[in-house]
Structures are given as structure tokens and as C-alpha cells.
Chain A
Amino acid sequence: MTPNRLLIKPTLTLLSLVFALTFSFGQSDITVMPEKVSLDVGESTTLKASIKGDDGKVVEDAQFLFFTRRRKGGGAVEVDSTGLVTAKLPGEAIVIVIYPHPDGKYLRANIPVSIAYPALSRIEFNEPPQNILTDIPTAISATILDKMDLDRNDLEISFSSSDPKIASFDAFNNLTGHQPGKITIMAKVEDITAKFDIKIEKNPVEDIQLTASVDEALSGDVINFEAQTMDKSGKMVKAPVTFTFQGKSAEQSEFAGGLIKPDGRFVAYQPGVYTITAVCGKNSAQKVVRIGDRQEVIKRDIQLVGKGSVTDKHTSDLWVWEGVDGRDYAVTGTWGADGEAFFWDVTDPANMTPIDTVKVDARTVNDVKVSEDGRICIISREGASNRKNGIIIFDVSDPTNVWKISEYSDGLTGGVHNLFIYDNHVFALSNAERYDIINIEDPAAPYKVGEYEIPTPGHSIHDVWVVDGIAYSSNWHDGVHIVDVGNGIAGGTPAKPVLITSFTYPSGWNHAAFPFFSKSTGKFYVIAGDEAFPYGLHVKDNPVIAAGWLHVFDVTDMENPVEVAKYEVEGAGSHNFWIEGETLYVANYNAGLRVVDISGELLGDLRAQGREMGWFISTDPKGYVPNAAFTWGPQPHKGHIFFSDWNSGLWSVKMEEKRLKN
């Protein structure tokens, strides 16, 4: 014990003494003056608080607690123990004043504080162009800064041209040149102005040649359009081109939607005829393409093959593997129950048979994984009654006689929510803070060799998946981290994981991630899945409605991951998913199992493009929550799709080879 930590602070002792004295008075009400405060940033004022005793006289030496909270507009003040209030940030704040009393008769007043915005300082243009071509609208923008250098985006800037005959603004701050010349652009807010000079040059483009990578394609296919701009002499010149499209659907009741990017990549969402237009000034060119119905080609019926019902408790994740005896097996976990994991013989997917059960000290076995050689199974533990949690390692060489080899909880007592097994190592989440890497070359004597933890404050991890020595972890608002844990691409090893790249997206719902090397395009994608429940809880007796979708990131350029596409089922939410070949299998909670064609380049809304190949809703009237599909995780295996459902257990389905007829 260090002496300073035992020190009784004299100030606090004095404070207690003063309170002891003031408490001897009764009191009736608290008065704080002023009752409202208005300050400029940096300005201070002192709140005068007082109370009156039962005799109506002001209690002398009464002491008060002062503290503060931001309110509307992020206003901030500081307040000290004497009631001195100093404005720090503009907006609204509140100062709470409490007169403490040991008999529970404390008094309290909430004093609103309004902090005025500082005077405006300047306007700064955002990358103002030095010259533009005539007849091509160009967006002009600027930032308003006040004297605290705060971005005042609550105010609107008025832009004007010194000579509207040469160039003028539309209502949305786009500047269009009408004839060559030099003008000055003025920006004004209140009495603050800024300006810059710009040269308007004649647009030399007299012709545009528009070409497409193909003339016919399916909905969901990406067509690349290229526009070459040429001057009067036919010489190619560089000029900005805008792409637009108009389409006519093949179906009377459908709209011909799609997406075209500034670089000319176009994807149609509906079958029909689309006209793509390239515009440069007063010149334009058009190209017509015909789009066929992808659904006609890819749609499949998904048929139920078998059920391994678990209806007395929730089921969590699954793993399906070929055993050392050549038969096929599955393991499923349980959730919020009694720590069981079930082993199934799924060689005949129509007759999935439970063959063994293990029970560990846990309430949730959220994750289960089996080694590539089919001999080792690891399961995660949460809610252990002794709070040890960690992982359990089983020998599943004979899945009819599963036996525990060892358990490992060092550093994992906070609960393991997800785990992975790869190349004699277990990647186990610890306390939602990090993943630990545990060597299990000798599964009877596991030991930790490394760990990976994001350095940002308030980080939280949810899942980890390893392929080819690269770990893909999902970290809610910190997004996906791609880490070399033995691949060598960044010099990483299990003992020394090295971050390769990471990316985030605004919702902060990142829950799962799966890498996808697209053979048909050579691109490398990582699909990041959400988990969200914005519509409340209905755990016991009603279906749960989830939200969220899959975000497709193009990570071909590892330095610059770009979100390019999404897969969303409206009214439901994504959970775990799997990719085999160029097919995506999604457990979509209340929307059941979904199978999605992810061949070719991916761009835009994949479901709207008709890339969904089929679906199966795992509704079970005898389910833990009856008739409430809550599909948890899928895994394709030897031509069948196995998946677990939270309310009904293990399912096997098969996607028909034959194309359905509408």
C-alpha cells in the first residue's frame, strides 16, 4: 500500500465537516441565481445557490454539488465546486445543482445554459477548380468556420458569379459556364465572404463515341461503358462525361431500375431494354443494351430433405464434416440452456440421427468447430456456473463416442462467443475484447501463443474466421480486420499476428465476415455481415424481427477496400453465412435460408438484381418458439445445405438442379 493512496484528503474532510454543520439546519427550498444562463464561448459566470431553513432564513455556509451535462447541439460547459460555469462549446447544456442531505431530503435544481455560437470567422472553398469547360455543371462547395474553427454546417452559403452571362449557379450550387471568360466566384454567409477566380473555357467536345463491353447481359451483370470524347477534328480530347440511363422493363408491372457509376459501370436490376447516355456539355451519345432475366437462369427450388429437431431449447451454430470413417457428421450447439452440444450422423441427410451428446458447464455453447482432419472438435462456453468459460476440446474420431481431451480457460474466462480451428491452432474470442491464438498440436496440453486486439478505445470483437493463414475478424463499429496469422503475406505468424488491412461502415453492426476469391473476375471480396435487432425482443413466445444486411467489399486493392454491393432481405436480418464456389449461403434469421449467385463482378443491390437463387423458411410448428423461423448458420456439404435454426435445430435441404418454370 503506497502512502498517498491511504491519504485522507484534507479537502474532503473539510467538506464533510461543513456538510455536517449545514445538515443541522432544516431546509425548505433551493434557489439558484440566475435561473437561466446565457454565455458566449469562453465566458464564465458563477451560479449563486442558497437554501432557506425552516425559519425562513438563508442557511449560512451551505455547500452544493455542481455538475453538468451536454444537451441540444452539443453545448458544453465546465463547472467547478464553487458554481463557476465556463462555456466551452456552443449549444445547450444544463448545470445540475444539488444540496445534499443525509436524511434523504436533498434538494436539486437544473439550470439551463445556452452557449451562443462564436462569431463566424471565414469561408474556405473545398478544392475549388481553376478552370471548367462550358456547358458542364460543376458542383462548388465551401466550409464555414467560426472563431473556434468549428464547422458551421448549420448555416447555408450563398454562391454567386461575378458575371452570370459567363457562368451562373443553379439552385443546388452547380456552376455552369455559358461562354469562355474569367469570373470571380463569391461565397457569402452573413457578413463573411470569400472568393476565388475561375476560368471558363470553351468545351472542345463535338462528338462522343460510346461503347459497351457487351450488348446483352443478365440482370446483375456489370457492363462497362466507355465514352471517348472528340473535338471538331475528330481528335480525342479529355473532358468530363456524365452517364445516365433509362430503361423499359420486360414486365409491365416492373420498373427498370439499375445503377450506373461515374466510371461507366452499369448494372441493371430488371430484365428489359436499357438506354445508356453519356453526356458532355451539349453533346451526348446513347447506347442500347438488352438485359435478360437472371432469375430465369439461376432460380432453383430448395426442397426439405431432413430435420434433426431440437425443440426444447435454442440451437446455436453447426459444423458438418466428413469423419475419419468416411461418413458424414454434424455438431450443433445450444443457446441459453444447459451446456449441451449434439452430434449427428448426417450421412443420409434425410435421416439425420443423433449419435452422441456432450454436456459441459455452460449455459450457451454458441460455437462449434471441427478440425480439417475430422478428429478434433472445439466448442465455446459462455455462462459457466463457475465463470470459467473458455473452450473444451473433444476427440471426435468416433463421433458416436465423443470424449473430452482437455479444456482451456486461461485468458478466456470472460466467455468465448466464437472460435475457429485452423492448422493446429484455435482462435478463440476472449471477453469480446480480442482473440487468443492457442496451439493444440497436443490437444491434451493447449497453450496460448498469441493474441490480436484492436488498439482503439471501446473496441469489441464478435467473430473470427481463418482462411489460408489470414484471419478475418468482425468487430462491430471497428469493422473487419484482416490479419496475417501465418500466411506470411505481411510477415505474420500465430505468435505474431500482423494487420494487413481493415475497413468499417457507418452502422457499426459488423457481426461476421467471409472472404471470397472470385474466380470469374479475379477480384478478392470480403463480405461483411450485420446483426441488428432494432424492433425489440420477443425471445420466448413471439418471432423476432431482425435487421441488417451483407456488405460486399472489394478488397482487391488491400490498401483501399471499397464497398461495392449489398445483399438485403427487407424485414429480416443477416446472421451467419458461407461461400462455396461462387454461391453465397445466408442464414437470414426470420427470412430463413437464402442462396445467392455471386458470380461475376458484384455491384449494387444483389437481391434487387435477381441474384437470389432460392430460399427456404425453416418454420416449425413444434419449435421452441413455434412457427418462428430464426435461421442461424448454413453450411453446404456434399451437395446438400445444412443449417441450424435457433428455434428448431438442424435442417438439411437440397437445391434442385433443374431450373424452375415460372
Chain B
Amino acid sequence: MKKLILQLSFLVFLMIGTIQSNAQEYYVYVTAESEDEVAVIKFDGKKATVEERIVVGTKPAEIEGPHGITVGPEGKYWYLSMAHGTPYGQLVKYSTETNEPVATTELGIFPASMQISKANGLLYVVNFNLHGRMLPSSVSVVDPELMFEIKKITTGAMPHGSRISPDGLHQYSVAMMSGELFEISTLGLEVSRVLDLEPPGTRPKEDKSQKEAKVDHSKMDHSQMDHSQMGHEEMMHHSIVKPTWVIPHPSLSRAYVAGNGSNELIEIDTKKWKVTHRMSCGKGPYNVEISPNGKLLVVTYKSEGATGIWDIATREELAKVTNSRKVSHGVAISPDSKYAFISVEGKNGEPGSVDVIDLTTFERVAVAEVGKQAGGIVFWKMMK
């Protein structure tokens, strides 16, 4: 009997060891905008840990603001936009093997979110120009192999949320201040379509949104987006929606926009190129991602410190998960659609964090603390 117990114990031990050795590990990169730092986070299914903190930038006495981040499709390099320059920001290419920078190129003012098209390997990054004058900004198209800017494509005022269609043929971004969705042909390198996201009848007829108006856009509180405080009757129409992000669906002809100012999610039929649904949501929706299986939409509510999980089929919010800090920011979802990784900025000297949300139980299952003002986040790899 004793022998049998010993044998069973050994078997259990082996099984646990096997399970443990087969445990799935998930890795994400996350930026800390007020720390000039990028962290590598590992999540083993239970615990999220900071594997490495990478100091970025070139000026120790200036905050250079790492904002957008993406990993190349081949996984060999990751790319980081540095928001603040003199005055132009930069794109920096890092090796995923060493996390050391290998090349840089100059972009526009306050470059932010980005993605690489799998159709041609080119990188599309928005020049957010968050605090600049209310003028149309641009999307920079970069050759990430030779690291140079091929072209700046003019879009709207304060473009954000650069995301590319699953076939790599279209890049989408929203213009926060002019309330528009832009589609760029990744092959033609031109704007192919523009969609007005404002509710019907709300845009003045004499909108000068794309003309140079003597408007100081920085008079606005961009985080709270309280239009009533801006006092700029003489200025251009400012978006009511204030879209901050757009994500195309991985298989359906749809895209979803975060209406940060109107507290809504906007569903767009990308074939018909029109708004099909407007769904009220939590306060200050900011970033949106869709699970690779196409079933769930995960949205950060920046003004609530929470994350919403929506059923795409029913257009209903399934859960709202409180984040570990007050200012929720970015979303990355694992390729197996099991976990959402949420970057949460924090306030003042408070560390930023990455919350891991189980997309089957809708519970926050782990938190990793990172540098101040955690922002851009990208899924890197799964390993066993």
C-alpha cells in the first residue's frame, strides 16, 4: 500500500511537473510615457511579472515620452514612437532578442500609435500632434527595414489609433478633433475614404475643420474632452464624438470606434462605409481591441479606470472590470483570445500597471507594476 502511495505520489508529481512545464507563457511590451521606459511583462496564467525594464530615449534630463509600440510580423524587432523631440518625434527600432535600439528615423510631431501592414511590410504611424494647433496632421508611412519615412499622408486634426485591416490593405485612424474616420490604401499610400463620425445634424454647415483656422487646439483638456469648457465659438467645429481609436474586425467587414467624447462605441460597415450602430458605453472609451476569434471587444474606459468587455454578436456589454489604477489606457489581447492585457496609467508618481483580464471569467487575474503613465501596449509572443 505504501509502495502504491509512493508510486501515485510520484505520478502526481510528474503530472504537475508536466503541466507546469507545459504552462503557457504570454509576453507583452508596454510603454511608460512619463518614465521613458518600456517593460517586458510575462504572464504565466497566474502571475504577471516584469521581466525587464528598458530605459529608452537619448536625453536623461528630458522626458521624451514613449507612446506607441508594435512588434514586427516576423517578431525580430519592436518599434517605438517617441513623442517629444525638438520638435519632431522619432521611431526607434529595437531588437526583440537584445532589447537594444538598432535604428531610428524622424517622424512628425508627437508620433503615437502604429502598426505594420502584413501586405507590404510598411509601418503606418499617426502623428498625433496632441497639443499643437488645430490643423490637419498626418500618418507617416515608414519602411521599417531601411528605417526611413517614405511619405506623410495628410489626414485630420489629432489623428490616433492606427490599425490595419486583417488583409493589410487598409490603414484606419480617427481624427479626434475633427471627428472623422480615415481609411488609407496601404498600396496607393493615399487617403481612400473619409467618414464623418459626428451624429447627424451636429456638424455646422460652415465647418472649417480642415482649413487652417487660428485655433489653439491646446486650449482643450484632451483627457476629459469636456467640450463645454473650451469656449471657442469662433473656432472650427470640435468633434462631439472625439474618436480616439478604431479597430477593424478580424473577419467581418466592420470597424469599431471609441467615441471618447460621446461615451459610445461606434460600429461601422466598412463595405458600405457608414455608421451602423452607436452603443452607449462607459465614460471616456479610449482604446479598443477585438479578440482574434472575433467574438469579444475590449475597451478601456479612461475616465472610469475600468475596462469593458462586449459581445460583438449581441452588441452588449458582458462585463466591466475595475482596473488597478484610475486611468485606463491601452489593450492587447493574446492570440488565443484568452487574456486581455490592459495598460493603466496611474496618476502623478503612482506606478503604471498592466492588468491581465481573463476573457472567459471576465476577472482581473493579475497585475504587474510598471513605470509611470503606462500607455502603448502590444502583445509579443506566447511560449511554453
In the bound assembly, the distance between CA atoms of A563 and B241 in angstroms comes to: 53
Residues 555-592 of A, flagged 1 when their CB comes within 8 A of B and 0 if not, give: 00000000000000000000100000000000000000
Query: Which residues of A are found within 8 Å of B348, using beta-carbon distances?
Result: 337-339, 359, 361-363, 385
Query: Which residues of A are found within 8 Å of B193, using beta-carbon distances?
Result: 6, 8
Closest to B347 in A: A385
Q: Say whether B201 faces chain A, with CB atoms less than 8 Å apart.
A: no
In the bound assembly, the distance between CA atoms of A11 and B192 in angstroms comes to: 10
Residues 403-417 of A, flagged 1 when their CB comes within 8 A of B and 0 if not, give: 000000111111100
Contact A459-B87, Cβ < 8 Å, known A19-B187, A413-B222: yes
Q: Say whether A104 faces chain B, with CB atoms less than 8 Å apart.
A: yes
Pair A104/B119 contact, Cβ less than 8 Å: yes
Query: CB < 8 Å: which of A67, A104, A411, A539 contacts B118?
Result: A104
Pair B192/A387 contact, Cβ less than 8 Å: no
Pair A458/B150 contact, Cβ less than 8 Å: no
Q: Say whether A262 faces chain B, with CB atoms less than 8 Å apart.
A: no
Q: What would 15 more interface pairs be, CB under 8 Å, given A385-B223, A413-B219?
A: A9-B190, A11-B188, A12-B190, A13-B192, A65-B189, A100-B169, A336-B35, A337-B349, A363-B34, A363-B63, A385-B327, A411-B218, A414-B131, A431-B131, A537-B57
Pair A12/B121 contact, Cβ less than 8 Å: no
Q: Say whether B363 faces chain A, with CB atoms less than 8 Å apart.
A: no
Query: Which residues of B are found within 8 Å of A339, using beta-carbon distances?
Result: 348-349
Query: Which residues of B are found within 8 Å of A413, using beta-carbon distances?
Result: 130-131, 218-222
Query: CB < 8 Å: which of B185, B188, B210, B218 contacts A412?
Result: B218
Within 8 A of A (CB), among B24-41: 33-36
Of A103, A313, A387, A575, the most chain B CB neighbours within 10 A belong to A387
Pair B73/A104 contact, Cβ less than 8 Å: yes
Contact A538-B60, Cβ < 8 Å, known A19-B187, A100-B187, A361-B347: yes
Query: Which residues of B are found within 8 Å of A67, using beta-carbon distances?
Result: 143, 150-151
Query: CB < 8 Å: which of B131, B168, B221 contacts A386?
Result: B221
Residues 528-542 of A, flagged 1 when their CB comes within 8 A of B and 0 if not, give: 000101001111100
In the bound assembly, the distance between CA atoms of A313 and B35 in angstroms comes to: 12
Task: Please give the distance in Å from B57's CB to the nearest CB on chain A.
Answer: 7
Closest to B145 in A: A108
Residues 40-67 of A, flagged 1 when their CB comes within 8 A of B and 0 if not, give: 0000000000000000000000010101
Contact A15-B131, Cβ < 8 Å, known A100-B168, A103-B118, A363-B372: no
In the bound assembly, the distance between CA atoms of A583 and B372 in angstroms comes to: 40
Query: CB < 8 Å: which of B118, B143, B190, B345 contacts A385?
Result: B345
In the bound assembly, the distance between CA atoms of A55 and B59 in angstroms comes to: 54
Contact A5-B210, Cβ < 8 Å, known A385-B327, A386-B224: yes
Contact A98-B121, Cβ < 8 Å, known A12-B185, A67-B150, A383-B63: yes
Q: Say whether B373 faces chain A, with CB atoms less than 8 Å apart.
A: yes
Q: Say whether B146 faces chain A, with CB atoms less than 8 Å apart.
A: yes
Pair A106/B120 contact, Cβ less than 8 Å: yes
Q: Say whether A94 faces chain B, with CB atoms less than 8 Å apart.
A: yes
Closest to A18 in B: B187
Within 8 A of A (CB), among B73-89: 73, 84-88
Please report the number of residue pairs spanning A and B whose Cβ atoms sit closer than 8 angstroms.
Answer: 182
Pair B187/A63 contact, Cβ less than 8 Å: yes
Pair B220/A382 contact, Cβ less than 8 Å: no
Pair B221/A65 contact, Cβ less than 8 Å: no
Pair B60/A69 contact, Cβ less than 8 Å: no
Pair B146/A363 contact, Cβ less than 8 Å: no
Q: Say whether A270 faces chain B, with CB atoms less than 8 Å apart.
A: no
Query: Which residues of A are found within 8 Å of B36, using beta-carbon distances?
Result: 539
Chain B contact residues (Cβ within 8 angstroms of A): what range?
35 or more
Pair A16/B131 contact, Cβ less than 8 Å: no
In the bound assembly, the distance between CA atoms of A1 and B346 in angstroms comes to: 37
Query: Which residues of A are found within 8 Å of B350, using beta-carbon distances?
Result: 338
Query: Which residues of A are found within 8 Å of B130, using beta-carbon distances?
Result: 387, 413-414
Q: Give the interface SS of chain B, mostly helix, strand, loop or mixed.
A: loop
Pair A16/B187 contact, Cβ less than 8 Å: yes
In the bound assembly, the distance between CA atoms of A108 and B146 in angstroms comes to: 12
Within 8 A of B (CB), among A79-120: 94, 96, 98, 100-104, 106, 108, 110
In the bound assembly, the distance between CA atoms of A359 and B350 in angstroms comes to: 13
Query: Which residues of A are found within 8 Å of B216, using beta-carbon distances?
Result: 410-411
In the bound assembly, the distance between CA atoms of A637 and B180 in angstroms comes to: 56
Pair B63/A460 contact, Cβ less than 8 Å: no
Task: Please give the distance in Å from B80's CB to the nearest CB on chain A.
Answer: 14
Residues 316-355 of A, flagged 1 when their CB comes within 8 A of B and 0 if not, give: 0000000000000000000111110000000000000000
Q: Say whether A433 faces chain B, with CB atoms less than 8 Å apart.
A: yes
16 A-B residue pairs with Cβ-Cβ distance under 8 Å, sorted by A, are: A8-B192, A15-B185, A15-B187, A65-B189, A67-B143, A67-B150, A69-B143, A104-B73, A104-B168, A338-B350, A383-B34, A388-B223, A411-B219, A413-B220, A413-B222, A537-B55
Q: Say whether A274 faces chain B, with CB atoms less than 8 Å apart.
A: no
Pair A458/B55 contact, Cβ less than 8 Å: no
Closest to A104 in B: B118
Q: Say whether B132 faces chain A, with CB atoms less than 8 Å apart.
A: yes
Pair B187/A6 contact, Cβ less than 8 Å: no
Q: Say whether A476 faces chain B, with CB atoms less than 8 Å apart.
A: yes
Pair A385/B373 contact, Cβ less than 8 Å: yes
Q: Say whether A269 faces chain B, with CB atoms less than 8 Å apart.
A: no
Within 8 A of A (CB), among B125-183: 130-132, 143, 145-146, 148, 150-151, 167-169, 180
Contact A432-B87, Cβ < 8 Å, known A16-B187, A100-B186, A363-B349: yes
In the bound assembly, the distance between CA atoms of A2 and B346 in angstroms comes to: 40
Query: Which residues of A are found within 8 Å of B219, using beta-carbon distances?
Result: 410-411, 413
Within 8 A of A (CB), among B325-372: 326-327, 345-350, 372
Query: CB < 8 Å: which of A335, A388, A540, A646 contacts B221?
Result: A388
Q: Say whether A364 faces chain B, with CB atoms less than 8 Å apart.
A: yes
Task: Please give the distance in Å from B278's CB to the nearest CB on chain A.
Answer: 17
In the bound assembly, the distance between CA atoms of A11 and B190 in angstroms comes to: 10
Q: Say whether A544 faces chain B, with CB atoms less than 8 Å apart.
A: yes
In the bound assembly, the distance between CA atoms of A110 and B148 in angstroms comes to: 14
Q: Say whether B194 faces chain A, with CB atoms less than 8 Å apart.
A: yes
Closest to A415 in B: B131
Residues 473-515 of A, flagged 1 when their CB comes within 8 A of B and 0 if not, give: 0001100000000000000000000000000000000000000
In the bound assembly, the distance between CA atoms of A648 and B35 in angstroms comes to: 19
Contact A1-B57, Cβ < 8 Å, known A96-B143, A412-B218: no
Q: Say whether A229 faces chain B, with CB atoms less than 8 Å apart.
A: no
Q: Say whether A430 faces chain B, with CB atoms less than 8 Å apart.
A: yes
Query: CB < 8 Å: which of A98, A382, A533 contacts B60?
Result: A533
Task: Please give the distance in Å from A292's CB to the nearest CB on chain B.
Answer: 39
Query: CB < 8 Å: which of A12, A362, A536 contacts B188?
Result: A12
Task: Please give the distance in Å from B187's CB to the nearest CB on chain A.
Answer: 6
Query: Which residues of B are found within 8 Å of A106, using beta-carbon distances?
Result: 118-121
Task: Please give the distance in Å from B38's CB to the nearest CB on chain A.
Answer: 13
Task: Please give the distance in Å from B318's CB to the nearest CB on chain A.
Answer: 29
Within 8 A of B (CB), among A412-448: 412-415, 430-433
Task: Please give the distance in Å from B87's CB to the nearest CB on chain A.
Answer: 4
Query: Which residues of A are found within 8 Å of B185, using beta-carbon distances?
Result: 12, 15-16
Within 8 A of B (CB), among A1-31: 1-2, 5-6, 8-9, 11-13, 15-16, 19
Within 8 A of A (CB), among B180-226: 180, 185-190, 192-196, 203, 207, 210, 216, 218-224
Query: Which residues of B are found within 8 Å of A1, using beta-carbon distances?
Result: 180, 194, 196, 203, 207
Query: Which residues of A are found within 8 Å of B146, using beta-carbon distances?
Result: 69, 94, 96, 110
Query: Which residues of B are found within 8 Å of A102, using beta-carbon distances?
Result: 118-119, 167-169
Pair A19/B169 contact, Cβ less than 8 Å: yes
Q: Say whether B313 faces chain A, with CB atoms less than 8 Å apart.
A: no
Contact A101-B63, Cβ < 8 Å, known A1-B194, A16-B187, A387-B130: no
In the bound assembly, the distance between CA atoms of A11 and B131 in angstroms comes to: 35
Query: Which residues of B are found within 8 Å of A433, using beta-carbon distances?
Result: 87, 132
Query: Which residues of B are found within 8 Å of A313, using beta-carbon distances?
Result: 349
Task: Please give the distance in Å from A620's CB to the nearest CB on chain B.
Answer: 17
Query: Which residues of B are found within 8 Å of A531, using beta-carbon distances?
Result: 59, 61
